[in-house]
Structure 1
């Protein structure tokens, strides 16, 4: 009787351990937090240089407006970064009021890599330079240290 009870307890504990192990294997990894540094140009004119934080697989949007005209965006931007191998496929949509419609494009970019994207326009080109970094990385920490303004010492 004791042997049967011991076996049943051992089997029960084994099944519980198996479910615990399988549950942790099936749990999806949390979405990677990402940093984007962009330069958006209309021809030779720099329109904006936004820095954004987002997550892979999540829509990230930015809307710049003039305080005097909040109903008319100066720039609308959407990014959707998706993990692809060691890097990311970033889908991008950009709208400027002086250009008709929305310009779209996508690019493959690795961690710590800066890539250009030309968005075609029959009149004048729109271009985007995009730098992508994982927030939890030494490269991002180094970039943040370099980007901080230095205080003048006297």
Structure 2
């Protein structure tokens, strides 16, 4: 039984619909843009946390509290969180599309990935925006930031 293959340079005939959104193209583009933004956000985060000021020895509850009390760092951290989780979820979706054998398996895995990404984004965003840098009656009051005593 002989099979004839198309010539490598033959025009590609799409069997998919011609109208609608090309989600694979937008996913591919998102991965490139978010990757560049993540490099900037992550290296900025590492530089500020590890190089500026006293370096690693300054990392404690007070340092993190001070950062999370500043709206600039809240937005920075949430942007990093959202971009990283969506970037990773999209990468996992691509792996599932490539390696899952049946449509049912693909659907289950992609639903699990989506659920995990959504739950982690919601919880992470809540932590960043509802973090209380000056907990009342804390057992570790000596670790509170300096500005807590002024309140």
TM over 0.5: no
TM-score by length of 2: 0.24
More helix by share: 2
Task: Return the structure number with greater relative CO, CA threshold 8 A, min gap 6.
Answer: 2
TM-score by length of 1: 0.24
